[in-house]
Amino acid sequence: MLVFKFGGASVKDAQGVINLGKVVSGYAGNQLLVVVSAMGKTTNALEKLTNAYVNSDGDVHEIFDELKAYHYQIIAELFEPGHPVFDEVANTFVEIDWMIEDEPQDDYDFIYDQIVSIGELVSTRIVNAWFNHEGIASKWLDVRGYIHTDNTYREGVVDWAKTRESIQKDFPALLEKSIIVTQGFLGGTSENFTTTLGREGSDYTASIIASCLGAESVTTWKDVPGILNADPKYFADTIKFDELSYQEAIEMTFYGASVIHPKTIKPLQNAKIPLLVKPFTDPDAPGTIIKENAVNSFAKPVIIVKQKQVMLSVSAGDYSFISESHLSEIFGLFAKNHVKVNVMQTSALSFTACIDFVPERFEKLLASLKAFFKVKYNDNLTLITLRHYNDESLAEVTAGKTILMKQTSRNTAQMVVK
């Protein structure tokens, strides 16, 4: 049994959906479960819509109309008028219509998940309809009834026992008859509200399902030839890894490598399920395989760049040392506001941390910290991480930049720069 995950770039237009069908048809005879992300930049558009709705500072309906038109254009290029998928997609979009008719009352993270989740529900409707149109027997499933989470909106914590029971109860019999098409990124609470698993969380969805079913492998289909040592948008002469160990992949994702969601690897490692990263434009290419006992070879260092960073410096108001009790209180506030630390340092009088800039969470964290501490910060920064670095590579990536924080260990160097 195989699990495939297709990201937004692979289904950004009608030709992408057609290509997805061709990729899947090449695996006829296999039990196959397909996890699909929202189409193209739909998640970004839905985030924009959410912000406009919550803040009442934008044309919500104009943003929504553009998004609907984008999807209806794809459908029109794939299907004849009157195909049932037109109504299926329209009925899914109605969920947003109902929400934005009223003034926002709920917490931002809750609203975010109810709106942004629509992207995956729509994309999978379209993909499933295309499969059946092409004679590929498939069944659409709502993953929210199978991946059960707590009420941590925007980063739902999976209830593994309940999730495993639900998936193992229904999926095996369905896979005997057809392909399953379901959504990445989404989960559901016991109250039947939608949660998301964290930005770019579709890889994690595939990992969860694969581990519950004991899949032979997971393949995530990307617009790159495999896992590269650096993002080709920022660096020339990148190299592809033929294979990586679970441990190295976990390290890379922890530091922000965007090709795989950080939580993806652990469930696969526990179940000894290999993860393949392959290009959807060239399905026969070998890509990269992440597995147990892989041979890691680093002819060049791994370079990971994270933009939109904020560096916070926290100190006691009375100039006392930053003690363990201070740190405990500070980390408690970070955890309460669901803010992760990317790199940190302590000195006698201050604690400094670099974090992703997520506006609504940052503002809450800032207010919480200022109630007890003095806080200063710099924004619009970049965090650069090098794995398996050398002096030459360090000098190259920091040339012409101002370094605000630097840490080096045996294998890893991190620098906050502007």
Query: Cα–Cα distances in Å, from 109 out to 158, 356, 418?
Result: 17, 16, 30
Q: What is the mean pLDDT of residues 197-213?
A: 94
- Mean of the per-residue pLDDT values of the chain: 95
Instruction: Take residue 350 and report the two structure tokens written for it.
Output: 């201050």
- pLDDT bracket for residue 319 (50, 70, 90): confident
Residue appearing with tokens 């669901």: 338
CA-to-CA distance for 230 and 232, rounded, in angstroms? 6
Tell me which residue of 196, 179, 180, 198 sits closest to 188, measured CA to CA. 196
Element (H, E) at 160: helix 160-177
Kindly list the domain boundaries of the chain, sorted by start residue. Answer: 2-291, 302-417
pLDDT in tens, 216-245: 999 999 999 999 999 988 898 899 999 999
Q: How high is the pLDDT of residue 262? A: 85
Residue 4 and residue 338: Cα distance in Å, rounded? 30
Q: What is the arithmetic mean of pLDDT over 177-201?
A: 95
What pairs with residue 190 in β-bridges?
none
Strand, helix or coil for residue 142: coil
Q: What is the mean pLDDT of residues 140-159?
A: 97
- Residue 122 is predicted with a pLDDT of 98
CB of 156 closer than 8 Å to CB of 150: yes
> Which residue do the tokens 């290419």 mark?
285
* pTM for the whole structure: 0.92
Would you say residue 349 has pLDDT above 80?
yes
DSSP 156: P
What confidence score (pLDDT) does residue 290 get? 97
- Percentage with pLDDT > 70 across the chain: 100
Tell me: pLDDT of 369 over 80: yes
- CATH superfamily for 2-291 is Acetylglutamate kinase-like (3.40.1160.10)
By the 8 A CB rule, do 209 and 171 touch? yes
Q: Could you tell me whether strands 288-291 and 302-315 are parallel, antiparallel, or unpaired per DSSP bridges?
A: unpaired
Segment 17-21 mean pLDDT? 98
At residue 77, the pLDDT reads 98
Instruction: Return d(Cα 417, Cα 401) in angstroms, integer.
Output: 6
Is residue 317 predicted with pLDDT exceeding 90? Answer: no
pLDDT of residue 250: 92
SS3 277: strand
Q: Report pLDDT digits (tens) over 272-310.
A: 999 999 999 999 999 999 999 898 889 899 999 999 999
Do 2-291 and 302-417 agree at the fold level?
A: no
Q: Which residues contact 347 (CB under 8 A, 6 or more apart)?
A: 322
Give residue 368's pLDDT. Answer: 96
- Residue 268 binned pLDDT confidence (cut-offs 50, 70, 90): very high
Tokens describing residue 264: 């993806």
Average pLDDT over residues 78-88: 97
Q: How confident is the model at residue 257 (pLDDT cuts 50, 70, 90)?
A: confident
User: b vs e for 66-88, b when ≥16 Cβ sit within 10 Å of the residue's Cβ?
Assistant: ebbebbeebbeebbeeeeebbeb
Strand spans (E) along 226-371: 243-245, 275-279, 288-291, 302-315, 343-346, 350-356
Question: What pLDDT is stored for residue 355 in this prediction?
Answer: 98
- pLDDT of 20-66, one tens digit each? 999 999 999 999 999 999 999 999 999 999 999 999 877 999 999 99
Confidence bin at 418 (pLDDT 50/70/90): very high
Q: How far apart are CA 342 and CA 356, in angstroms?
A: 8
Which letter does DSSP use for residue 412 in this model?
Answer: E
314 pLDDT band, cuts 50/70/90, is: very high
Assign domain 302-417 to a CATH class.
alpha beta
Between 259 and 141, whose confidence is greater?
141
Distance CA 209, CA 368 (A): 37
